[in-house]
């Protein structure tokens, strides 16, 4: 596939519905360069509910053939999507930078993550364990009743609606984790583009559409739509053809989708990643050892904290918005270093004007709370959408008693909470809402103090890490990117890593069905060469 076939230099401004370019019947929106607030061409026409119904109907029509695709063809499709995205690397990078203000290195890294996770899911499809095949063999001689032949597998749910995230225009967008895992599960996808980066979405949507055609799949396997966020989003979540929703965004929008999905005649699951402030816990001996090591060691730790807070202008779902530091001499030294590290930190352009405005409102509200004090502030960047990074502090008592101190500020801002004892720390941790991550900074001498905190955190977060920073989510077989509400709508799942595929599957059992009627994944001859559990024991494919 070439640049000419995708026409990335001549974007259409239209939705891609089941392989066709479809201008919307509604108003027009433009992407905006947040560094200059300049509108970008072309304008994108928004579809109405009648046009949406065409996309969802096509997805429903595509489901039967796509859900039964053989592993090799299925995996090759995912790989072809990755290849097509890579073929558009430079024009795609330029468009992302223009629509988001993100630096080139960040965009290139995110593009690599996007294609790599597509290839990772291709390997999952080929390997096949996600199908969950099980077989309890028959025993007609068993007394008092014969034992039946029962076989089980996981099957795709059906068409999935996926909503693009504002802060990850590639990795959590058109071909991002929700789309990749849904397609890997065998579910067609209707993707609602984020209106902040419509050109980026069209380039990637065209790459997927081309792959659908090149592999010879039903065109309804994928559609990309542009529409009014509230009305089309609600209609998409309420459409009878849609069987699950993947979403990354604000708590308000996520809860609204959850309510719409629950109110349907047949409710469906919504897998929404929403709000998290990702607490970081510093322990006494770790800080004492750092202070003893000298000013450079303290400065390094402070700079690492600032780097995690300010990376991508703090617009990462795992940014450390809350840090617990002991109230004592070592904590004082560390915070003094944080204040110094903050001074040269320049604001980075935020993704949109509205996100920058929300950040300012959140910071103003936090700063106005009783007992909240400034630790350090950086300098504004260029343009009105690049506010200065800021760090505040408050006591553990203030944190426990003031819900405003628990609220997420999406951007480069963080609150340090000073705690007095292990009991005080655990008491504060128990007040936390559900989070994506929790991080422990500790030495071996702190393990005894940290041990009682672990079970508390297990009930609060999806990922616990030590002596690092929560930003930077590895995409692999073991990763969990989820957590109790409001971090996500369902704490039993993950949106990153290969277990993300499980969100879009359900179990079906086949009891005493004739061999000729059984689907291939559970046939006795095992034509797809799947590992399976037979009578409770793992049976590896030959």
Residue among 390, 399, 335, 341 at smallest CA distance from 363: 390
520 contact partners, CB below 8 Å, separation of at least 6: 527, 528
Each domain of the chain, given as residue ranges in start order, spans 3-136+148-274+494-502, 280-466
What whole-number distance in Å separates Cα of residue 538 and Cα of residue 133?
Answer: 10
CATH architecture of the region 3-136+148-274+494-502: 3-Layer(aba) Sandwich (3.40)
pTM more than 0.75:
yes
Handedness of CA 464, 468, 473, 479 (dihedral sign): negative
316 contacts 273 by C-beta, under 8 angstroms:
no
Residue 285, token pair as written in the block: 């001996």
217 contact partners, CB below 8 Å, separation of at least 6: 62, 65, 66, 69, 77
List residues with catalytic annotation. 273, 317
Per-residue pLDDT of the chain in tens (542 residues, 90 and over written 9): 433 344 445 899 999 999 999 999 999 999 999 999 999 999 999 999 999 999 999 999 999 999 999 999 999 999 999 999 999 999 999 999 999 999 999 999 999 999 999 999 999 999 999 999 999 999 999 999 999 999 999 999 999 999 999 999 999 999 999 999 999 999 999 999 999 999 999 999 999 999 999 999 999 999 999 998 778 999 999 999 999 999 999 999 999 999 999 999 999 999 999 999 999 999 999 999 999 999 999 999 999 999 999 999 999 999 999 999 999 999 999 999 999 999 999 999 999 999 999 999 999 999 999 999 999 999 999 999 999 999 999 999 999 999 999 999 999 999 999 999 999 999 999 999 999 999 999 999 999 999 999 999 999 999 999 999 999 899 999 999 999 999 999 999 999 999 999 999 999 999 999 999 999 999 999 999 999 999 999 999 98
CA within 13 Å, CB half, 438 = 25
What whole-number distance in Å separates Cα of residue 118 and Cα of residue 189?
Answer: 14
Q: Which fold has domain 280-466?
A: Aldehyde Dehydrogenase; Chain A, domain 2 (3.40.309)
């Amino acid at each position: 596939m070439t640049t000419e076939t995708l026409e990335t230099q001549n974007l259409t401004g239209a939705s891609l519905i089941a392989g066709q370019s479809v201008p919307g019947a509604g108003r027009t929106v433009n992407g905006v360069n947040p560094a200059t607030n300049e509108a970008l061409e072309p304008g994108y026409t928004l579809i109405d509910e009648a046009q949406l119904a065409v996309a969802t109907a096509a997805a429903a029509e595509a489901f039967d053939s796509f859900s039964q695709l053989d592993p090799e063809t299925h995996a090759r499709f995912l790989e072809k999507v990755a290849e097509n995205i890579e073929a558009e690397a430079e024009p795609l990078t330029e468009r992302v930078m223009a629509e988001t203000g993100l630096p080139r290195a960040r965009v290139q890294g995110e593009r690599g993550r996007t294609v790599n996770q597509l290839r990772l899911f291709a390997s999952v499809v080929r390997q096949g364990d996600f199908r969950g095949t099980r077989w309890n063999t028959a025993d007609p001689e068993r007394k008092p009743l014969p034992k039946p032949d029962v076989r089980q597998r996981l099957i795709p749910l059906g068409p999935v609606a996926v909503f693009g995230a504002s802060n990850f225009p590639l990795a959590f967008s058109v071909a991002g984790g929700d789309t990749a895992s849904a397609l890997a599960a065998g579910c067609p996808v209707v993707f609602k583009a984020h209106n902040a980066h419509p050109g980026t979405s069209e380039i990637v949507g065209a790459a997927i559409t081309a792959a659908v055609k090149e592999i010879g799949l039903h065109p309804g396997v994928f559609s990309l739509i542009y529409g009014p966020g509230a009305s089309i989003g609600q209609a998409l979540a309420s459409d009878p053809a849609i069987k699950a929703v993947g979403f990354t965004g604000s708590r308000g929008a996520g809860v609204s989708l959850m309510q719409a999905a629950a109110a349907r005649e047949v409710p469906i699951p919504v897998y929404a990643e929403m709000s998290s402030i990702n607490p970081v816990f510093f322990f006494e001996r770790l800080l004492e050892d750092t202070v003893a090591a000298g000013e450079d060691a303290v400065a390094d730790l402070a700079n690492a904290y600032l780097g995690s807070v300010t990376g991508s202008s703090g617009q990462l779902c795992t940014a450390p918005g809350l840090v617990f530091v002991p109230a004592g001499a070592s904590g004082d030294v560390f915070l003094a270093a944080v204040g110094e590290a903050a001074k040269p930190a320049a604001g980075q352009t935020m993704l949109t004007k509205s996100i920058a405005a929300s950040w300012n409102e959140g910071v103003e509200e936090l700063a106005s709370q009783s007992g909240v004090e400034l630790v350090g502030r950086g300098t504004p960047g260029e343009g009105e959408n690049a506010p200065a990074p800021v760090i505040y502090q408050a006591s553990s008592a203030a944190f426990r008693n003031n819900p405003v101190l628990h609220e997420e500020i999406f951007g480069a801002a963080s609150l340090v909470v000073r705690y007095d004892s292990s009991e005080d720390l655990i008491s504060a941790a128990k007040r936390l809402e559900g989070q994506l991550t929790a991080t422990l900074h500790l030495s071996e001498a702190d393990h005894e103090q940290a041990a009682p905190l672990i079970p508390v955190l297990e009930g609060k977060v999806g990922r616990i890490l030590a002596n690092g920073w929560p930003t930077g989510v590895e995409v692999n077989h073991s990763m969990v990117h989820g957590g109790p509400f409001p971090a996500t709508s369902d704490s039993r799942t993950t949106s990153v890593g290969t277990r993300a595929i499980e969100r879009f599957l359900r179990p079906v059992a086949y009891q005493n069905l004739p061999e000729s009627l059984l689907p291939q994944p559970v046939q006795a001859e095992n034509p797809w060469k799947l590992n399976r559990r037979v009578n409770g024991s793992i049976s590896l494919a030959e």
